[in-house]
Amino acid sequence: MNQLIALLLATPLLSALLILLLPNGKRHSVARVSVSLSALTFVIAGISLAVYLFHPHTHWLSSGQAWGSLYLDPLTSVMAMAVSGISLVVHIYAVRYMAEEPGYARFYILLDLMTASILLMVAAGDLITLLVAWHLIGVLLYFLLGHDLVRPAAQRYAFWSFFTYRVGDLPLILASVLLYRAYGTFAIPTLFEHITANPDAQTVFGLPLTFVVAMLIALSAFARSAQFPLHTWLPYTMEGPTPVSALMHAGIVNAGGFIINRFAPVFIHAGFVLHIVFAVGMITAIMGSVLMLTQNDIKKSLGYSTMGQMGFMFVECGVGAFSLAIYHLVAHGLFKGTLFLDAGSMIGNARKQDGVPHDDIYTFVVERKPIASRMPWVVAAAVTVVVPFLVLWVSRWLVAGDFIGQQGAVILLFFGWATGAQLLFATYRLRADNPWRLMAMIILSLIIVVFGYTVIEHAFNLFLYPDEALRNRIYAAASIPIGTFETLVAILTATIVLGWIAVYYSTANGKQKSGNTSAARLAVYSLISREFYVSDVYTWLTQGILRLSQRMNVLLRWV
């Protein structure tokens, strides 16, 4: 097993070295070497995961020094499989996509080095190795995003991302220093043993060490995973090559979820930090989802979609569903990476459309089809409110009958219910020849997806955290007083139910007017179109600092 861990990291490094030694102009050889060794890396990751499944024992490979150790546990094996798989797809896609671009060999070298750095991050067995990998990912991302040396926008936004990543590195470095000073070791498993044995032994300025370290790690994760207000770099990285945008979902932009899971033994002693993670994730999820819907650039829209998904991933961490965040990380990485790689085809298909909205008149006159109908709005409203709740409740009850006592599970059930209701409402708005059959098919699809998702999530939870006591402590750390929790759930449930009924009633009676341009609507549109003015605030602060520095230079006669 130790040889597999070392070989997993050595293979992409060997690929980068071989490409560097190849003569210039051998593009086919470059692609063949890089893709072949990337496929070998994926096979090795698969073998490592299979070996761990049959022999579930953690392995710690030490270099004999204070740093350079590797650690294979369930989290490492899952992440390595996901990272190497997405990297392989990106390598294959880039063979033709980057064929006409200058710096072909350089691009593949950077891809291989990035893959090796991400694998080193997920397999790091000590704090120094983790920090080295964490820093290298940001540096390599800068070069990948700025691969086009001619476009000023690519260089500008690559530096923007680099600066944000460097800001996010500082809290993780400080957290590592505090942990080393408190326990005298860099080894991650040893640190967790000390923290578990005596979590309140150390303080920092009167605050528990676990609280301070958890807060610093959360801040670093916020910057890496584009959480509000450090999210502005992500949508503008779309100036980089499309393969890089896809590769970013292989442990780069979603590394925040990984780092929180890696330090789970710290977060179980810092429940208030998990509440902060939940709040920041909620704000980010809402902002990212809203801004995604208002973009006219498909890659930028996908970028804001990623921001929203990363926010939801932090919401999952904030409610204690750490394993679900990893499942979300892997599933979203595969899904969104595919969407980025297919963005060009989507643009081509959109250009073939005539742009005529397919309303009732168009359908009847041009397509010669009868005008479709809807089911009664009262029935549709009842189905929307009741069916998703029943499907989600039954699916959770089948895998964990005691989930009602876990606040995190209830919150996730609540979000799933709202999402399922939105799906059924969208189905209601789609007129069809047979609306009852359409609704039945959507409900059947919802049942299949929800039950599959719940079973896989439960299996992930048992695999990543086999210790039931640890799982319960994570959920307990994320909990709030039961009276406050039940009151909030009751208020939000009543608000959503009444809101859905009002929307159904107004839609059925034709009270929604798309041409309404009231002052409130214009204000909301201005706020969203300016991306909530976050970038404007940063620009204003930058200009203010520059003006202040100019005045200081004049006063001190430095210029």
- Quick check: is 488 in a domain? yes
Q: Where in 62-140 does DSSP place strands (E)?
A: 70-72
- Quick check: is 519 in a domain? no
Structural domain ending residue among the three candidates 331, 346, 361? 346
In 3D space, the residue among 192, 78, 77 whose CA is nearest the CA of residue 127 turns out to be: 192
pLDDT at 349: 65
Number of domains, the chain: 3
DSSP 511: -
- Quick check: is 353 in a domain? no
The neighbouring-strand residues paired with 204 are 207
Q: How far is CA 451 from CA 24, 357, 393, 414, in A?
A: 53, 36, 10, 16
Give the span between the Cα atoms of 369 and 49, in whole angstroms: 53
Q: What are phi and psi of 512, to 5 degrees?
A: -90, 120
State pLDDT tens for residues 128-152.
Answer: 999 999 999 989 998 988 887 777 8
In 3D space, the residue among 235, 322, 335, 250 whose CA is nearest the CA of residue 281 turns out to be: 322
Does 339 share its domain with 453? no
Does 424 share its domain with 482? yes
Does 398 share its domain with 260? no
Does 224 share its domain with 158? yes
Residue whose entry in the numeric block shows the structure tokens 């590592």: 176
- Quick check: is 352 in a domain? no
- Quick check: is 354 in a domain? no
Does 134 share its domain with 236? yes
- Quick check: is 514 in a domain? no
State pLDDT tens for residues 57-84.
Answer: 777 777 777 777 888 888 888 899 999 9
pLDDT at 222: 92
Does 36 share its domain with 96? yes
Give the span between the Cα atoms of 446 and 395, in whole angstroms: 11
Residue numbers of the domain that contains 218: 2-346
Q: What are phi and psi of 293, to 5 degrees?
A: -75, -10
Contact between 161 and 253 under an 8 Å Cβ cutoff? The reply is: no
pTM of the full structure? 0.82
> Does the pLDDT value for residue 40 go beyond 90?
yes
Phi-psi region of 70 (alpha: psi -120 to 50; beta: other; left: phi over 0): beta
What average pLDDT does range 460-487 have in this prediction? 80
State pLDDT tens for residues 418-436.
Answer: 777 776 776 666 666 666 7
Cis peptide leading into residue 23 (ω within 30°): no
Does 458 share its domain with 538? no
For 519-535, b where at least 16 C-beta lie within 10 A, e where not — what string? eeeeeeeeeeeebbeee
Return mean pLDDT, the chain: 80
Give the span between the Cα atoms of 383 and 315, in whole angstroms: 27
Structural domain ending residue among the three candidates 330, 346, 362? 346
pLDDT at 399: 61
Six-digit token string for 496: 């959503």
Does 500 share its domain with 530? no
State pLDDT tens for residues 309-325.
Answer: 899 889 888 888 888 88
Does 473 share its domain with 535? no
In this prediction, residue 484 has a pLDDT band, given cuts at 50, 70 and 90, of: confident
The neighbouring-strand residues paired with 124 are 70
29 exposure class (CB count in 10 Å sphere: 0-12, 13-18, 19+): middle
> Does the pLDDT value for residue 368 go beyond 50?
no
Does 78 share its domain with 170? yes
> Does the pLDDT value for residue 514 go beyond 70?
no
> Does the pLDDT value for residue 361 go beyond 50?
no
Q: Looking at 309-323, 405-419, 435-449, 492-506, which range is the least confident one? A: 405-419
Q: Looking at 96-105, 167-176, 364-373, 485-494, which range is the least confident one? A: 364-373
Q: What is the DSSP string of 58-72?
A: -EEE--SSSS--EEE
Does 411 share its domain with 466? yes
Does 295 share its domain with 376? no
In this prediction, residue 175 has a pLDDT band, given cuts at 50, 70 and 90, of: very high
What average pLDDT does range 332-344 have in this prediction? 80
pLDDT at 245: 83
